[in-house]
Structure 1
């Protein structure tokens, strides 16, 4: 009789940062028996709750502090805890600590989910960081001294970047281009929510393949203190103000630039105290070397997972599950990708408010290399750039023989699809 699989407590909230339950259950096959832990079942539709019950045991610990939730969960004897949602990463870490299980420590989880705490930790460890300020402190300082914001402007210059301390997918991230704009923006921030940063400069010479943005994400897996590289993902140019428009795997980098980006990402992981778990580290490439944009304590989401699985034959979600149940997961040398996988998105203009029409999308599947067309916003739907990357018009997924070919596919996609908005 085969041995029972270890029980893995999956902290699930159903937000769009997480994969659907069926995909998560598929990743767990042969690895772990999933125990769905619901920190707030009120957020989940009834259909999702029924699906979860069909995929494993469900433990509803809605609104309980982690210590009390651990007492309930302990009755089910889980051998690991995992969470793929930033909103509950600290809570899940506290849960794991109370149960004596491997995970991020609560302190590390806090640094991974609060960009202000993260910036402070990176700076304290001597890593290069942009200038940064707690928006609350700027509001308080400017109330006492009207020249306080002028001092920030003199130190950092413009543009500045106003971004949530906790958030994802470029939501509510905006460029601030003058002292007046900064004063106006700060007058409307919610206390405890926002961070101001100086803009990390673009390199004067291209450091990535033609037609791509000067930043990448480094995908890592930490296991008992050993950090393994899974890959480096490139990006097409951003849509204003800071919305992503897709991914390329692998990134088009010289070996020297690639190694420097990887080293910076690993240094950041160690500065934050990461011992176990997946990491998605965004790195800006500058004339003075790589600078960390942010470190996320979750696997690269959605399309990155798909592109990596296609290229490398490994599922980063399954690897994270293996680490969570105590397996030692390390890699010395993964297969070299034979082509360039891509996801390209079309974002609406930043000043658009309503999508009037989307034409030409029915012809996109004919572009050589395109394997899937993903519709987004439709005619009649309202739009705001504040929704970030998820507010796309359409996306294509596929593969090309090289980065130049991928760039041509992207351009043809953009040429064929005509968006009318007002």
Structure 2
């Protein structure tokens, strides 16, 4: 059976998770991508050994359908990209294959549409306004904008160009800056939702839905929202989980993996955004290890039309922490620890660099400022936390302007 995987740039989720899982399931894999050169280099190249890579404008569902139609018959069409969920869903539907409802994929990707749908369904109402690509940000001044508020690209990812603003002048200035960086992109302005930032990770097949746990997220100081530390939560309080699942039901999220970000204040849970795919930044790799389940295989099996088991058999005693050493200035990385893995005192700690020594980067104010990932798992949270703290204290990252 042939699996078509849609991708843009290489990611750890695909390279270390989904491609090995597809190989283990005995699937023939064809990677459709608009960046074939990037996938033929580095770790992605090894993961794709023996697999087929075809160039395709994966942002266009018509190009995807045409490319598949002229090639081998598909058994499944899958993507873990934020940008390509609607395209993959449309292609799967065209070929009569299991997949996500393209309407739901669009509804969750488009942050303005998500807010409108949640309000119309009565699930939750958040003040928001949409600024089209050709619209003058000064027009926002006439609206009753609640300050502080958040500005973000309508279809953005990874906290890129997500910024907190505290007044009308700041709002206009930030919108003008983002429009200059992202010509053609629509923006969303919405009220700032205060509270503890968390995630909920789910997996469904349209019939059953499993809650895999979630994370508590620590972000950088305002005005940006860089996710700097993630602590695994085996189970959020039941009323909180129930509120989030009800909002996901209102959106129609029922199939495959979903990574949902939300805040909790005084017991009320409110969605920040819904990423209709598996969590990234190596949290999915950690989750599979921590729960001791073939997570990536389960996700692919749903797209092959196989039902999920009623009980995944996941471990419930695992505890984990991820920390992302982050650049604080532009410049060249001149010193950093190498990749390593060690197990001590019941804790397994893994470090993976995300930037090579000698590379120069500008400061983005997003997850692209990550220098590496420290992830630790065990059964005692205090021991896990100490292991990460000790690692960070023993190593340093140096950036030269």
Return 5+ residue gaps in structure 1 as ranges: 1-5, 203-213
Question: Pick from 119, 123, 126: which aligns with 2:119?
Answer: 123
Aligned length: 391
Deviations 1:246-289 (A, max 9, x none): 323335x6xxx522332233223222223422111112111151
Confirm whether residue 391 of structure 1 aligns to residue 369 of structure 2.
yes
Confirm whether residue 183 of structure 1 aligns to residue 160 of structure 2.
no
TM-score by length of 1: 0.80
Which residue matches 1:402?
380
Which residue matches 1:341?
320
C-alpha contact (below 8 Å) 1:103/1:276 kept by paired residues? yes
> Equivalents in 2 of 1:118, 1:186: separation in Å?
21
Q: Cα–Cα, structure 1 residues 11 and 367, in superposed 2: closer, same or farther, change >3 Å?
A: same
Confirm whether residue 196 of structure 1 aligns to residue 192 of structure 2.
no
Q: Cα–Cα, structure 1 residues 370 and 358, in superposed 2: closer, same or farther, change >3 Å?
A: farther
C-alpha contact (below 8 Å) 2:107/2:114 kept by paired residues? yes
Question: Pick from 292, 296, 299: which aligns with 1:313?
Answer: 292
C-alpha contact (below 8 Å) 1:139/1:187 kept by paired residues? no
> Equivalents in 2 of 1:305, 1:63: separation in Å?
23
> Equivalents in 1 of 2:279, 2:336: separation in Å?
31
TM-score by length of 2: 0.84
- What secondary structure is seen at the aligned counterpart in 1 of 2:164? strand
Q: CA deviation at 1:323?
A: 0.3
C-alpha contact (below 8 Å) 2:137/2:172 kept by paired residues? no
- Equivalence map 1:29-178=2 (5 Å): 29-41=23-35, 44=38, 46-47=40-41, 54-62=49-57, 65-67=60-62, 69-74=64-69, 76-136=72-132, 139-140=135-136, 142-143=138-139, 147-148=141-142, 151-152=144-145, 156-158=146-148, 160-178=149-167
Which residue matches 2:255?
276
Question: Pick from 331, 344, 353: which aligns with 1:375?
Answer: 353
> Equivalents in 2 of 1:414, 1:33: separation in Å?
40
> Equivalents in 2 of 1:172, 1:306: separation in Å?
26
- What secondary structure is seen at the aligned counterpart in 2 of 1:184? helix
> Equivalents in 2 of 1:328, 1:199: separation in Å?
39
Return 5+ residue gaps in structure 2 as ranges: none
The answer to which structure has the higher strand fraction is: 2
Q: Cα–Cα, structure 1 residues 407 and 148, in superposed 2: closer, same or farther, change >3 Å?
A: farther
Q: Cα–Cα, structure 1 residues 244 and 269, in superposed 2: closer, same or farther, change >3 Å?
A: same
Q: CA deviation at 1:402?
A: 2.8
- What secondary structure is seen at the aligned counterpart in 2 of 1:234? strand
> Equivalents in 1 of 2:128, 2:37: separation in Å?
34
> Equivalents in 1 of 2:211, 2:91: separation in Å?
27
Q: Cα–Cα, structure 1 residues 420 and 79, in superposed 2: closer, same or farther, change >3 Å?
A: closer
- What secondary structure is seen at the aligned counterpart in 2 of 1:390? helix
Q: Cα–Cα, structure 1 residues 399 and 53, in superposed 2: closer, same or farther, change >3 Å?
A: closer
C-alpha contact (below 8 Å) 2:292/2:315 kept by paired residues? no
Deviations 1:26-59 (A, max 9, x none): 2123435133142425564544897687433445
Q: Cα–Cα, structure 1 residues 415 and 148, in superposed 2: closer, same or farther, change >3 Å?
A: farther
Deviations 1:181-207 (A, max 9, x none): 1111122324433212221112xxxxx
Confirm whether residue 243 of structure 1 aligns to residue 264 of structure 2.
no
With 307-316 and 277-286 compared, the bigger mean Cα shift is at 307-316
Question: Pick from 292, 303, 320: which aligns with 1:324?
Answer: 303
> Equivalents in 1 of 2:57, 2:291: separation in Å?
38
CA RMSD across the alignment: 3.4
